[in-house]
Amino acid sequence: MTFIPKPKKFKPFNPRFWDREFRSEFNKWEFQLLEEFNSSKKAERPVISGTALADHRLGRGRFLLIPSRYLTQDYILCECPSDIPIPSSWTYVTIHGRRKIFQNHYEILVDDIVYTKMKTPLKPEIDFREFQDYLLLKWNGIDSPLRELLAFEFVSSPPLFALKQAGGLSLSIYDGASTGQSKKILRYFRNIIPPQVALGKSGLIDIPWMHTKLTLPPFSWSFRSFDADKPISQPLYAFLSNRKSNKFAEISIGLGSKESAPISVYEPPLVMVDQPTLLPSSAEERSINLDPPPEVTKYIIDAQMNFPTIGTTQVDLEKELESVSSKIVELAAKYNVPSLVQRHGLFDSSYYGRPQSIMRLALASARAYGKQSIDDQWVKKAFNEYYLKNIKTIFDSWPDVFTSKGVEIVTLKENLDKQILRFITDNETKDFGVGIHLIEEHFNRDKIELIASLRRLLALGKIRETKLDVYRSVPLE
């Protein structure tokens, strides 16, 4: 009798970064650099380019050369004579010298150092649409603009150096089906990119014959996800408040919630991110066994070598921030949002740096489409296609969060209070409020009960009594 062994449970291949070794894990240009580096270091009179790494543990006048900043699969030790200073760490140089074989490894006696720039690819090997397909390979039911917004988190935005702010794009993801899908997709994202990148792990170069291990700084971008239904930690709160980081140039944050809408429009999960989003109830993870596609990691590496700018000067940036602020004010007017309600942050042009959020969104989209510089037209396009469309989706999907005029109702405890407030805002005009007789006719409830509800709304500042028994929502300006 033959026993058929039970098939092993599928275990996906863990994506890697520092310890990549297979050709499919590298961009074509990365693998070409590795091949050229390995070939050049073996020549009698090597001319070899790479990134310098200086460390006192290597000895006087010595530095390490690696193919590029994040390619640690090969290296060579370089030794300078007393009249040639060693280059600073992370400078890209071309070395002219003489090969030296010492204890079964190569070294270079340096004759000359030329400071240069690494030739980088003009664009990634796949386009932005293909990147979205790979990123959401196992997910159905996610359409624009959420599809692009999720991808922009990984494309990331370069730092706003003039404002001393770190780059990256941060989203809060609410769950349209309240089934925990938003947290599930964040876990999926953490598994589809190398943990060394997501968690910001440093690289390590082992030099066995010197009994030395050199530490390299982490990749410039990291992705962090948090449970938005739990209190936000102080370090995360501080970062989202000022967008400053001592360790990373760019950090993207994903806040996942099981709620289908915020329980308050004043709380961090909604107002502190660049964009609140809603994962639709149609979103689902496909039950298929797939290894994380290496194209995701390769695209992230490629895209983040592009540093698009806003114009060319500080003045250009300041003008664009002013322009974006006016767009937000216009958006509040478009939705007829009372000024006293704008403090919740979706429309406030200064609350938690909302204009900067739009700039980060525009820069991420510029990076995705290979642009080197953006102007007002590009920012306007990003604003309309992503920010504005997403806000419209939010308003359409959260009828119990805002009234039709943007008055916040989600924190009201009594259902009758919500209904009356919604009725007042839907029926008031610029010139006239809503009388109690209309409220009585519509609700057909005991007048004492209706008056009690109106008094609660007055106490909370949701409505005002313009004249006896005539009510309006918070005043328009």
Do residues 79 and 109 lie in contact, with contact meaning Cβ atoms separated by under 8 Å? yes
- Phi, psi at residue 315, to the nearest 5°? -65, -40
Q: How far, CA to CA in Å, does 381 sit from each of 385, 387, 465?
A: 6, 10, 42
CATH 3.40.50.1980 assigned to domain 28-115? The reply is: no
Task: List the one residue out of 248, 246, 228 whose CA is nearest residue 237.
Answer: 228
Task: Please count the residues of the chain.
Answer: 477
- What single-letter amino acid sits at 137? L
Region(s) of the chain under CATH 3.40.50: 128-397
Do residues 106 and 38 lie in contact, with contact meaning Cβ atoms separated by under 8 Å? no
Q: Helix 354-368 and helix 146-155: axis angle, to 10°?
A: 80
Region(s) of the chain under CATH 2.40.50.140: 28-115
SS3 169: coil
Query: Taking the domain 415-473, which CATH number applies?
Result: 1.10.10
Beta strand residue intervals within 323-370, DSSP E: none
pLDDT for residue 187: 94
pLDDT for residue 344: 47
Cα 89 to Cα 136: distance, rounded to the nearest angstrom? 37
pLDDT for residue 338: 44
In CATH, the architecture of 128-397 is 3-Layer(aba) Sandwich (3.40)
Q: 189-214 b/e with 16+ CB inside 10 Å = b?
A: beebbbebbbebeebebebeeeeeeb
pLDDT for residue 321: 67
pLDDT along the chain (477 residues), means of 10: 66 89 94 94 94 94 94 95 94 95 86 90 88 96 96 95 89 92 95 93 91 92 94 92 89 95 82 91 90 94 90 64 64 50 45 70 94 86 87 83 77 91 89 92 92 93 90 66
Task: List the one residue out of 59, 11, 56, 51 whose CA is nearest residue 34.
Answer: 51
pLDDT for residue 161: 82
SS3 337: coil
**CA 319 to chain CA centroid, nearest Å:** 24
